[in-house]
């Protein structure tokens, strides 16, 4: 893989392209504790420099693609591909009047990932090596268990992951609280001794969540994600303080700017912080969150998009595990080369491929194109 000519460090970004692909869910509708969805939109960015193209993406919507095209394109084209940090700062400045969180941050995230992939490709290095590896294999937990599944389907999905060697699996709760304890018990029956995580997506109130924490503990649940609304840091901290000792509280997937993560940690709201590079400013943002985790000795778990996170996951100092989210793993294997199945409960970055190690299958994706 190592070229005979020196890798280029000073190439200018020549072009930045964005497309959006709307991929229907496997089932007609999927749901968690607080929303229902029937499709997932992949916003894909390609950045060219020299003879290389870097890719990045976020799971967002058409507005995100529009913002990349209308606002970020001119910031990025002509920038130095070796100066990802400078371009990240310039993108942040460019969205000042739009609001840095939400759509703008998802747009910046997709571009930042593409620029890191591009930089690693220009250097002819796998991205994990460029970041500096902390581990060779990255543990994953199986995540799905939607509230739209009936109990046999819930059990089959979670059992499949446990049987494949994943140490933990996660299911959704909170849509029909009266059924939650029985569904969680049914999941426990299906997975043997594997770790069982639940995610309420903010569906409960504080007292309600504490009641469920006790009920879920009877099924050996060790991870209670977003028991209450994610911005209610005091509420999360109350649940964390009163939950059973073996049950960790997790949140952070809706963190965009670094200040959100700092406030979650300062409030003592979580045992494990979650962060998503497709939302929090790409790898540039995620590496900063990893640094924050070190200040509080709190573990970090990446949210969704397992194949996008893989190389960064190998390098994050505080990483506990990555979320192997059903919808995103399915889309990755439909549309990308290089998205291999987990083995023994882990994903391993392919160090023979430069960058993210992913190749977008444009022809397979075209029928889903919406922009
Ligand atoms: Mg979640």
C-alpha dihedral sign at 254, 130, 295, 346: positive
pLDDT at 135: 98
CB 292 within 8 A of CB 270: no
Distances (CA, A) of 320 to 80, 135, 302: 34, 11, 9
Residues 355, 357: Cα–Cα separation, whole Å: 5
Going from the Cα of 19 to the center of ligand 1, the distance in angstroms, rounded, reads: 26
Distance (angstroms) between ligand 1 centre and the Cα of 243 equals: 18
Q: In whole angstroms, what is the distance from residue 23 CA to residue 325 CA?
A: 15
Spatial contact of 275 and 300, defined as CB atoms under 8 Å apart:
yes
> What are the structural domains, with CATH classification, of the chain?
15-125+363-368 (3.30.390.10), 129-356 (3.20.20.120)
* pLDDT tens digits, 52-97: 999 999 999 999 999 999 999 999 999 999 999 999 999 999 999 9
Say whether pLDDT at 9 is over 90.
Answer: no
- Determine the distance separating the centroid of ligand 1 and the alpha carbon of 278, expressed in angstroms: 14
Average pLDDT, the chain: 97
How high is the pLDDT of residue 335? 98
3-class SS of residue 341: coil
pLDDT of residue 218: 98
Q: How many CB atoms lie within 10 A of CB 88?
A: 21
For position 5, what pLDDT does the model report? 59
Q: Report the chain's C-alpha Rg in angstroms.
A: 20
Burial pattern 6-17, b for ≥16 Cβ within 10 A else e, equals ebbeebebeebe
Q: Model confidence at 104, in pLDDT bands (50, 70, 90)?
A: very high
Percent of the chain topping pLDDT 90: 97
Tokens (6 digits) for 187? 């999941």
Q: How far is the CA of 221 from the centre of ligand 1 (A)?
A: 15
The percent of residues in the chain predicted with pLDDT above 70, rounded, is 98
DSSP string, 235-262: HHHHHHHHS-TT-EEEE-TT--SHHHHH
pTM: predicted TM-score of the whole model, two decimal places: 0.97
Expressed in angstroms and rounded, the spacing between residue 210 Cα and the centre of ligand 1 is 18
Distance 252 CA to ligand 1 centre (A): 8
Write the pLDDT tens digit of every residue in 246-284: 999 999 999 999 999 999 999 999 999 999 999 999 999
Give the N- to C-terminal CA distance of the chain in Å, as an integer. 35
User: Which pLDDT value is given to residue 7?
Assistant: 58
Task: Please compute the mean of the pLDDT values over residues 117-134 and round it to a whole number.
Answer: 98
Bridge partners, 20 (sequence order):
43
SS3 label, residue 296: helix
Query: Is the predicted pLDDT of residue 4 greater than 70, yes or no?
Result: no
Secondary structure class of 126 (helix, strand, coil): strand
Q: Phi then psi for 306, rounded to 5 degrees?
A: -60, -35
CA 292 to ligand 1 center in whole angstroms:
20
8 Å CB contact between 277 and 305: yes
Cα of 363 vs centre of ligand 1, distance in Å, is: 32
What pLDDT does 8 receive?
A: 58
Does residue 48 have a pLDDT over 90?
A: yes
Distance 13 CA to ligand 1 centre (A): 35
């Amino acid at each position: 893989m190592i070229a005979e000519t020196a890798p280029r460090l000073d190439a200018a970004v020549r072009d930045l392209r964005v497309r959006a692909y709307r991929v229907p869910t496997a089932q007609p509708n999927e749901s968690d504790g607080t929303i229902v969805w029937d499709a997932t939109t992949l916003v894909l960015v390609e950045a060219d420099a020299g003879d290389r193209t870097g890719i990045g993406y976020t799971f967002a919507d058409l507005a995100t693609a529009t913002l990349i095209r209308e606002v970020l394109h001119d910031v990025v084209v002509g920038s130095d591909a070796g100066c990802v940090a400078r371009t990240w700062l310039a993108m942040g400045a460019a969205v000042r009047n739009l609001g840095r969180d939400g759509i703008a941050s998802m747009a910046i995230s997709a571009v930042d990932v593409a620029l890191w992939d591009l930089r690693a490709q220009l250097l002819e290095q796998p991205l994990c090596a460029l970041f500096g590896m902390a581990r060779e294999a990255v543990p994953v937990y199986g995540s799905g268990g939607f509230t739209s599944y009936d109990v046999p389907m819930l059990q089959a999905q979670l059992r499949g992951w446990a049987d494949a060697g994943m140490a933990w699996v996660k299911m959704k709760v909170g849509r029909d609280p009266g059924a939650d304890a029985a569904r969680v018990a049914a999941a426990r029956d299906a997975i043997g001794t594997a770790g069982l995580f639940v995610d309420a997506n903010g569906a409960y109130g504080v007292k309600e969540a504490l009641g469920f924490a006790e009920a879920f503990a009877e099924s050996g649940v060790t991870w209670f994600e977003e028991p209450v609304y994610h911005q209610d840091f005091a509420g999360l901290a109350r649940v964390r303080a009163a939950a059973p000792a073996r049950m960790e509280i997790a949140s952070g997937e809706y963190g965009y700017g670094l200040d959100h993560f700092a406030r979650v940690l300062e409030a003592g709201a979580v045992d494990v912080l979650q962060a998503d590079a497709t939302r929090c400013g790409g790898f540039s943002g995620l590496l900063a969150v990893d640094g924050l985790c070190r200040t509080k000795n709190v573990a970090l778990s990446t949210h969704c998009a397992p194949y996008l996170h893989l190389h960064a996951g190998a390098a994050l100092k505080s990483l506990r595990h990555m979320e192997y989210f059903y919808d995103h793993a399915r889309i990755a294997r439909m549309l990308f080369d290089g998205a291999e199945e987990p083995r023994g409960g882990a994903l391993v970055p392919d160090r023979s491929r430069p960058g993210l190690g992913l190749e977008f299958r444009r022809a397979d994706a075209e029928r889903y194109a919406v922009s």
